[in-house]
Amino acid sequence: MINVGRKSLIILIRHGESDLNRTGIIQGQSDDAQLTGIGASQAKSIAEWLHGIDCDAIITSPLRRCIQTARLIAPVLRGNLTSISIDSRLLEIDFGPWTGRCRKEVANNYDEQYRQWRKRPFDLFLNNRYPVRDLYDRIETLASELQSTDSIPSAKIVVGHRGAISALIVSLLGLPKSHHHFLQIDRGSVTILQEISRNESKVEYELVCANERPGVSPADLVDFETEERTSSRGEVILVRHGQTDANMDRRYQGGMDMGLSATGRQNMELLAESFISVHPTRVISSPLQRARESAEILCSKLGSRVISERKDLHEFLYGVWEGMTEEEVIKYRTNEYSNWKARPAITSIPNAEHINDAYNRCMEIWEYYEQDLRYWGGSIVSVAHDIVNRLLICSALDLPASYIWKFRQTNASLSVLAVKDNYDGKLRMLNHSPYSLSRRLSDAWL
């Protein structure tokens, strides 16, 4: 059984494939669609993936495709769940005259508005209304309720549509509304947010994983055959190195040059199964041994391939914290630790790199990756570290370093970023890992 323990969870599920999804019809708030056999299979795979989770509530959009998905998932859940709650605030965006039309037809007949929808959705004016602003008016009230501090941490499942789920994520993470489209949310996918802090009135969340697709074979995991895929200039697959003994001890490594543990090597072997169908233009690694070893394991699956090193992919340098466990830092450097977790962009650790300097070097790395892929196309596998990968994600999404705690990076995990001219599906997947869900939700290691 997966028990959330001391931390609240919000599990966001996009409904499975519907018959209208298959034909490319924009559904909006219409209730004509129902799940296909593939859609039902996607829901059952999600149910199996979440099997045994200790759940307090399952909330769904009132539209049939979501209710069908929720009903296939609910029976395997544990906890205080007695019924499925229907919430009209989870309705999809009201697309007005676009509803019931083929996406390509809308793109041709509403050229300017469709471009606005893709690039500046919050400013979309359609049918004398701002439909995305209307969506946020109702979703923000739901987000506020989900963020309210319960006396006991809880796990809630929300089944909805791409637009509603995007708005919930943006609201719960405190992202700019210009980032409404930042995350690719495939049909039958799961995105999980977990509590990172709480006060008397509010719970703060981080993304634990995003666009996870239970039931998709590892070999197809990073093969994104979607509408967004066609407009990408290339993709960067960020990999965090496998586990080290210091990770198990929750010890800050920074510039310390440690190799992988036996568990770390084993989990990198499992993660490598996700790369069978990947043919990267380049594999680039941090010079530190734990990253280099991880890259070599991946390349053993990719066949003979040269690994390039970038010295600036090294981990954040923790100064006097290096070699200390998190428990020791909390005990002996309490104020520094509290500030690091609450306000990293303005925190100074003695003899350490400043987070803004690390952000600047990660910005330079991302700009290099972008230029490389815009010219050559394809994909780059970048093998590095926790803070560096978080900062690369922030750089790609034009978010400041203060957002680093919003994007978890587990040992032996991958995240996929697309090189695009806007935020539309720029983060394709976050923190996929061969670890079990319970282990990915644990804070037993650093």
Domain edges within the chain: 9-212, 222-440
Distance from CA of residue 109 to its chain's centroid?
33
Residue 335: CB atoms within 10 Å: 8
DSSP 304-330: S-PEEE-GGGSPP--GGGTT-BHHHHH
Ordered DSSP codes for 371-401 = HHHHHH-SEEEEEE-HHHHHHHHHHHTT--G
pLDDT of residue 223: 58
pLDDT score recorded for residue 443:
75
Query: What is the value of pTM for the model shown?
Result: 0.94
Lowest mean pLDDT among 78-82, 103-107, 153-157, 303-307: 78-82
Task: Tell the residue number behind the tokens 């998932």, with chain if given.
Answer: 73
The dihedral built from the CA positions of residue 316, 322, 327 and 333, taken in this order, carries a sign that is negative
pLDDT over 80 (residue 50):
yes
DSSP string of 137-162, one letter each residue: HHHHHHHHHHHS--SS--EEEEEE-H
Count how many residues are written for the chain. Answer: 446
Work out the pLDDT band at 341, boundaries 50, 70, 90: very high
Class of CATH domain 222-440 = alpha beta
Q: What does the pLDDT average to over 110-127? A: 92
Phi/psi of residue 289, each to 5°?
-60, -40
- Average pLDDT value for the chain: 90
More confident residue, 77 or 298: 298
In the predicted structure, residue 1 carries a pLDDT above the cut 50: no
134 pLDDT above the threshold of 50: yes
The CA distances from residue 337 to 5, 246, 279, 366, 406, in Å, are: 23, 18, 41, 28, 17
Q: What element of type H or E holds 108? A: helix 103-109
Taking the mean position of all CA atoms in its chain, how far away is CA 57?
22
| pLDDT for the residue 329 | 97
Separation of alpha carbons 189 and 446, rounded Å: 27
Note the pLDDT of residue 304: 65
Confidence of residue 191 (pLDDT cuts 50, 70, 90): very high
- DSSP conformational letter for 233: S
The rounded distance, in Å, linking the Cα atoms of 87 and 92 is: 12
Please, which pLDDT band fits residue 52 given cuts at 50, 70 and 90? confident
Confidence of residue 377 (pLDDT cuts 50, 70, 90): confident
Query: What tens digit of pLDDT does each residue of 354-376 get?
Result: 999 999 999 999 999 999 999 88
Q: Tens digit of pLDDT for each residue in 161-170?
A: 999 999 999 9
Q: What is the pLDDT of residue 229?
A: 44
Euclidean distance between CA atoms 243 and 249, whole angstroms: 11
Helix (H) or strand (E) holding 207, with range, is: strand 203-212
Q: What is the pLDDT of residues 207-245, one digit of tens each?
A: 999 999 987 765 555 555 555 444 678 899 999 999 999
Q: How far apart are CA 165 and CA 358, in angstroms?
A: 31
* Domain 9-212 annotated CATH 3.40.50.620: no
pLDDT one-digit tens code per residue, 270-321: 998 887 777 788 999 999 999 999 999 999 888 767 899 999 999 999 999 9
* pLDDT at res. 5: 53
Cβ contact 172:205 at 8 Å = yes
